[in-house]
Amino acid sequence: MATRGASGKQPVALHELAYRPALHTPSHPTRWEFPAYLDNPSCRWLQALRRLYAEPIAFPASLSPEAGLLLHALVRNVRPRIAIETGTFVGVSTLWIAGALAENGDGGRVHSFDTFGPIGRAPWRDVEMLTGRREFVEARIAEAGLDAFVALHAGDSADAIRALHGAAFGDGDVAFAFVDGDHSAEGTWRDVLAIEPLLPTGGFLVLHDTFPDYSSHVGPRAVLDQLEERAAGCYESVDVYLAPVNYGLAVVRRVG
Ligand SMILES: C[S@@+](CC[C@H](N)C(=O)[O-])C[C@H]1O[C@@H](n2cnc3c(N)ncnc32)[C@H](O)[C@@H]1O
């Protein structure tokens, strides 16, 4: 029987794919809006997340609530027993992942890596956190009731992950990794290559800030563009647009 589908259509070169939605608001937002439907008084980790999103330091470098929901849904469905995150920042994405692991209820844990160095002022961020970031994140995790689901690691993420190969992590142990640390091309590659031996066939790598025009970071895009040439046929990926600011997110699955 003949099938109907994309017959007669031609693939579009990525640079011709103009649909990269602009801001969902006429001007750049200045803070995150936590959706009212997630303001659930009986869910401790969502309440802690709502308060964290209200902290000025959380904007704009944390994952947006919409993107966090996406990350959370992936972890709920992939159900990794061990997840890795590079780039804890102030803990927003960590809470989204750990909240999913808690809801999964099967003993999963996220290992989150950051230098925990000082955060300075930057565009859209008129506050700083020069010291005490790790303690700040630990307090947010405790407030969320998620201590059992998170292990924080201080230091350069690629080095720290490699140091745990064969100890906390065996080959193929990490079915889900979120890469959001050093956003230079070299730094993103170092994270991805440190994680790669741990990723089973079928495992997921999620990269944030994949649209340089919006995020002003080049590393994640460079890794995606070079992945095919460095590991032909071993990965498939899809770009996802993000609201309210389209920093971009890529979901990469290891298939080889
Ligand atoms: C954009 S923020 C991460 C945001 C966070 N994932 C979230 O959505 O809430 C990037 C983080 O990467 C960290 N970072 C940068 N280079 C790093 C490195 N080489 N090793 C570990 N962490 C690094 C920074 O300290 C910063 O906290």
pLDDT > 70? residue 245: yes
The topology (CATH level 3) of 60-121+132-254 is Rossmann fold (3.40.50)
State if residue 157 touches ligand 1 by the CB under 6 angstroms criterion.
Answer: yes
Ligand 1 atom 18, closest CA? 156
C-beta 188 within 6 A of ligand 1: no
Report pLDDT for 16.
63
Report which protein residue has its CA nearest ligand 1's atom 7: 62
Look at ligand 1, atom 26, and give the residue with the nearest C-alpha: 89
Q: How many CB atoms lie within 10 A of CB 182?
A: 20
Closest listed residue to residue 67, CA positions, set 256, 255, 252, 240 = 240
- CB of 237 within 6 A of ligand 1: the answer is no
Record the pTM.
Answer: 0.95
Q: What is the mean pLDDT of residues 197-206?
A: 97
* Of residues 228, 167, 172, the one with CA closest to residue 196: 172
Span 104-136, pLDDT tens digits: 999 999 999 999 999 999 999 999 999 999 999
How far apart, in whole angstroms, are the C-alpha atoms of residue 121 and residue 188? 23
| Number of helices and strands in the chain (H, E) | 8, 7
What are the C-alpha distances in Å from 116 to residues 35, 55, 110, 157, 225?
A: 28, 17, 17, 11, 29
Count of other CB atoms within 10 angstroms of residue 130: 9
The alpha carbon of 7 and the centre of ligand 1 are apart by a number of angstroms equal to 43
Residue with the smallest CA separation from ligand 1 atom 27 is: 89
